[in-house]
Structure 1
Amino acid sequence: MVRRGVSVLVAGVLVASVGVGCSAGTESAPQANTTVTPSAAPAPSASASAPAIPAGTAPSDTFAVGVRQLKRNRDGERPLPITIWYPATGRAGGKPTNSARAAEGPFPVIMFSHGLSASPKDYQALLTRWAATGFVVAAPTFPHTSGSERPNVLDVLNQPADVSYALTEVLALGSRDGDPLRGRLATDRVAAAGHSAGGVTTIGLFTTGRDERLAAGIVFAGTALGVGTAFAGATAPQLFVHGEADEVVEYAAGKAVYDKVPWPKAMLSLPGGDHGRSLLGDSTSLRVVADTTIEFLRWTLYGDTDAKERIATAAARDDIATLDDHL
């Protein structure tokens, strides 16, 4: 939800429609070529259960960042181009380089879901910071909630299954002969993250569309409308990030979901934070959000216990956020 005017409209529709069972009689009724029936996430194989991450150490180096695109289509009806940022060889810093040579891995994988009327590129300032610290970040562009003036908000309910499909496709690159990411993916160390409607998508991956391959989650300005709070499956630590001055998804709505999480959890609250600008620009807020999420990911995906101890320190920097810590 990047464009405020559209965001406010669809957020209201989301409350009115998704919250009461996806009635097709709302202002944002689905277009003829889309469906609002929530898709079940593909059932992972028995070997894909949520892993217990052994203790380890995250990379201390900062990497250059490469970027590439995958063209994928789920069931032939849902085009899902996937942008992948990854640690690359070369000098750290600067802009991502197309098809740069991947650094020696393996690196954990993070699946990121964008907000309404947005695209993965809108979050590049945050996602490239994750990649530069040792993570492969894969972000699908959803077919009916991206880049349009009036996205089909109800299609958000199909997106957890989109992410599970995209995850399968990305992880397959790690063992594909000739692929630049062969041997670079830690396929047993995967997290999901998302902003706004992408936060709904991410919550859904731990509730109605539980993907047991996911070991952790990060929810930015999200709500559980349409996907519920019946968190299921193996323990998966969660980090919620929400601005207390959010003009689109009320802070109380995000906090209510956070309170229902039965696993280790923390909530980073920004008293002056709005719905998204702190995530999309190079700002003091972005630095705090980036550093806090990086330490959380180092702990949950690398098993770095020192990083866990640094989460609170990162959250306290510049005195612009508070952390409710139950990790």
Structure 2
Amino acid sequence: MSRRPTPVLLATALLSVGLAGCSAAPAPTARPAAPPEPPKATTPAPRVPAGTAPGKTFAVGVRQVKLNRDGDRPLPVTVWYPARGGAGGGPERGADVADGRFPVVMFSHGLNGRPDDYAELLTRWAAGGFVVAAPTFPHTSRGADGNVLDVLNQPADVSYALDKVLALDGRAGDPLRGRLATDRVAAAGHSAGGVTTIGLFTAGRDERLDAGVVFAGTALGVGTAFAGAAAPQLFVHGEADEVVDYAAGKAVYDAVPWPKAMLSLPKGDHGRALLSDGAALRVVSDTTLEFLRWTLYGDAAARDRLPADAARGNLATLDDHL
């Protein structure tokens, strides 16, 4: 695949994507034949020191950070974070940050979406001990002009937002001062946000990233030339995806040269497992949370729990090369 196909090709693939929420899925399509099994990855992973993720569930706070890249790309960022107080309930705006230093996950929404569409999933990550920062993109969010080609600018948006979020750790008076593990960072995203996330490991490689989580993503426009230091990847894709074909996501996954796994949902469509399907969302959130605990906290026990979480309820299968 070329690194940057024509804009017409990218537009054709993504113009129909309304990724904030999808209707009922069509009947599953046949799953493509699996390629020969690659050997288990030998690159040491994760690259963070071995450690233990928090054993508790945190209350969750939420805040907004207003950013603007180059003066003409407004990027308001919603930040969910571990908070003081009893766990459970919805995120509390402006809640006091919990004690500790927490890894950062940058999340990219899909076309015609907004960060709040994914609040259920991102709140669970924050409750598990992560600061989750999600930009609202200037042209592909709901209510914007819908310029699909602007997806190609979004990896740079995420890197810029990451600069500013990490800087909060040293900003006098900021609630997140001294609370960010600035050397432990992952990127994640759904559909057009999955394209954005893949781009952060290929054409727009951000070397600060230790891991990636790609939901219903494709490499169209950003390529599969994964570059830089090894960064484990977890792909999540519905086999009945009516927007981004399962085979397209699997092809990107197959191209990843690093430790990797793919969570496949045989009855999953383009967005339900992230947005509305309770049982599938639990499988997806638990599996991704264990992956983040392993890659950003160095928690080997979380890595060992990952296959069991993926198998719960027989809703998904896991291709595991971590």
Q: Same fold (TM over 0.5)?
A: yes
Residues 114 and 25 from structure 1, CA distance in 2 versus in 1: closer, same or farther, beyond 3 angstroms? closer
The residue aligned with 2:179 is 184
Aligned counterpart, 1:305: 300
* Contact 1:51 1:213 (8 Å CA) reproduced: no
Corresponding position of 2:197 = 202
Across the aligned residues of Structure 1 and Structure 2, the Cα RMSD in angstroms comes to 2.1
Structure 1: state its 5+ residue gaps: 1-17, 31-49
Give the Cα–Cα distance (whole angstroms) in 2 for the partners of residues 226 and 168 of structure 1: 24
The structural deviation recorded for 1:52 is 2.5
> CA–CA distance in 2 between the matches of 1:208 and 1:27?
21
Aligned position for 2:130: 135
User: How many Å separate the matches in 1 of 2:10 and 2:105?
Assistant: 36
Bigger relative contact order (CA 8 A; separation at least 6): 2
SS at match of 1:192: strand
Task: Give the secondary structure class of the aligned counterpart of 1:129.
Answer: helix
C-alpha distance in 1, partners of 2:301/2:144?
45
- Normalising to structure 1: TM-score of the pair? 0.86
The residue number in structure 2 matching 1:281 is 276
Q: How far apart are residue 19 of structure 1 and its match?
A: 7.1
CA distance in 2, matches of 1:122, 1:52: 31
Structure 1 residue 245 corresponds to structure 2 residue 240: yes
Does structure 2 retain, via aligned residues, the 8 Å contact 1:269–1:321?
yes
Matched, 1:222 2:217: yes
Give the alignment of 1:118-157 within 5 angstroms: 118-148=113-143, 151-157=146-152
- 2:311 matched residue in structure 1: 316
Q: 2:6 aligns with which of 5, 21, 27?
A: 21
Describe the superposition over 1:211-263 as per-residue Cα deviations: whole angstroms up to 9, x where unpaired. Answer: 00000000000000000000000000000000000000000000000000000
Residue aligning to 2:18: none
Percent of paired sites with the same residue:
74
What letter is aligned with 2:197?
T
2:154 maps to 1:169 = no
In structure 1, C-alpha distance between the alignment counterparts of 2:10 and 2:207, rounded to whole Å = 34
SS at match of 2:134: strand
Tell me how far 1:105 sits from its aligned partner.
1.5
Q: Deviations over 1:143-191 (max 9, x none)?
A: 0000037611100000000000000000000111110000110000000
**Distance across 1 between alignment mates of 2:234 and 2:258:** 10
Instruction: Write the distance in 2 (CA, Å) between the matches of 1:79 and 1:149.
Output: 11
Query: Does the 8 A contact of 2:46 with 2:296 survive in 1?
Result: no
Please report how far the alpha carbon of residue 199 of structure 1 lies from its aligned counterpart in structure 2 after TM superposition.
0.1
Q: How far, CA to CA, are the matches of 1:237 and 1:294 in structure 2?
A: 14
Conservation of the 8 A alpha-carbon contact between 2:11 and 2:149: no
Could you say what secondary structure the match of 1:279 adopts? Answer: helix
The CA deviation string for residues 55-80 of structure 1, in whole angstroms up to 9 with x for no partner, is 00000100000000000000001000
Give a deviation string over 1:68-126, Cα, whole Å, max 9, x none: 00000000010000000000001100010001000012000000000000000000010
Letter in 1 for 2:178: G
Counterpart CA distance in 1 for 2:4 and 2:309 is 35
Q: Does the CA contact (< 8 Å) of 2:110 and 2:191 recur in 1?
A: yes
| Equivalence for 1:46 | none
Unmatched 5+ residue regions in structure 2? 16-44
- What residue in structure 1 maps to residue 72 of structure 2? 77
Which residue identity does 2:6 align to in structure 1? G
Contact kept in structure 2, 1:51 and 1:188, CA below 8 Å: no
| Matching residue of 2:31 | none
Q: Distance in 1 between matches of 2:165 and 2:57?
A: 23
The Cα shift of 1:277 comes to: 1.1
Q: Deviations over 1:265-286 (max 9, x none)?
A: 0000000000001101251000
Query: Contact conserved, 2:169 with 2:177, CA < 8 A, in 1?
Result: yes
Residue identity opposite 1:273 in structure 2? G
